[in-house]
Every structure is written in C-alpha cells, then in structure tokens.
C-alpha cells in the first residue's frame, strides 16, 4: 500500500522545519529547470536585430552570470534549502518561436540532497535579468511558466531522461 504524500518541511507539531539530511546517502544529483520569456513582437524584432544587446549590455551573457550567481546563493533566498557545493551549472538560452526566449538551467552536485530549487532559481533569476535588461523597450514582457524538467539522484528520478538540452557534458 502506497503512503500518502506529505510536506517535508513541517515537523510533528506542524511548525516549519529544515529537513534533516544527515542520514541520506551522498550521491550524484542533477536537475534541469526552464523559464520562458515572451516579448511583444516589436520588442522581439528589435532584440533580434540588435543581436540580443540592449542599452544595458549583452542580454544573454548577463542573464547567465546572474542565473549562476543565484544558483550558488539559493540557500540564502529560500529558507529551508541547504547550502550545497555546486559541481556544475550550465545555461542554454535560445529563441522559442518568434517572440520568446527559453531559458534552461542545469545544475549538478554530489551531496545528500537534490538541486531542484537551485535549477529553478537559476532559470527564474536569469529570466528576471532578461526582463531587467529589456524593460526599457516594454513592460509587457511576460515571464513563465517556470518548471522543473527533470531530476536525477536521491529517492526518485523525475522527468526527461536526458535532463534537457542545457545539461550537456560537465553541466
């Protein structure tokens, strides 16, 4: 008989609590998340014409740097995330149709807990950075959805077997 799913960040008394991972096995873990950034057609055309450069600089390069910084600081942003050694972090940012960018963030660690939150944080902060870099062109830029594409390691694997295009070698 399968047990009912329950929240993991709540103690016996219903209070918030960080999960104790001390008894878990250290293993290779990886996760890939994505976030979409949709532009008005005129803004997308302008960005394509400029080679994805704005008055603030190189949009993609800046987004990758910001996303990587966010991955490494996820535990400072989300209260119950453990600080993790990040073994690899890779981004793939490419056009998704005429008017949107798709951002994928792949993260790897060898630890007792996974990196799903790090991958999601990296993808969404990279998307927010694209918004910041381009907001002078329009405030009608739309972010999302953001979602986990897959994870490996730990109790159960989830999602794509190849963990997305961003995973690549040495993600």
Residues 96-136: pLDDT tens digits? Answer: 999 999 999 999 999 999 899 999 999 999 999 999 999 99
Domain spans, the chain: 27-152
- Determine if the pTM surpasses 0.75: yes
What is the residue whose two structure tokens read 């990196």? 115
Q: Say yes or no to pLDDT of 1 above 50.
A: no
Q: Which two tokens stand for residue 80?
A: 């119950």
What is the residue whose two structure tokens read 């991955």? 71
Report d(CA 33, CA 119) in Å as an integer: 5
* Residues identified as active-site: 132
Residues 45-64: pLDDT tens digits? Answer: 999 999 999 888 999 999 99
Please tell me the CATH superfamily of domain 27-152, with its number: Molybdopterin cofactor biosynthesis C (MoaC) domain (3.30.70.640)
Q: What is the largest CA-CA distance in the chain?
A: 59
């Amino acid at each position: 008989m399968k047990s009912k799913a329950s929240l993991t960040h709540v103690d016996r008394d219903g209070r918030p609590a960080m999960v104790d991972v001390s008894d878990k096995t250290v293993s290779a873990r990886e996760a890939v998340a994505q976030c979409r950034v949709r532009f008005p057609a005129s803004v997308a055309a302008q960005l394509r014409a400029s080679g994805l450069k704005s008055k603030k600089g190189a949009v993609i390069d800046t987004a990758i740097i910001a996303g990587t910084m966010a991955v490494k600081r996820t535990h400072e942003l989300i209260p119950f995330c453990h600080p993790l050694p990040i073994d690899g972090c890779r981004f793939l940012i490419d056009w998704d149709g005429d008017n949107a960018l798709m951002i994928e963030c792949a993260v790897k660690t060898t630890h007792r807990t996974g990196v799903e939150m790090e991958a999601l944080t990296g993808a969404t902060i990279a998307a927010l950075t694209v918004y910041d870099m381009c907001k002078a062109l329009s405030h009608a830029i739309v972010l999302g959805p953001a979602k986990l594409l897959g994870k490996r390691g730990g109790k159960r694997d989830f999602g794509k077997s190849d963990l997305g295009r961003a995973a690549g070698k040495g993600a």
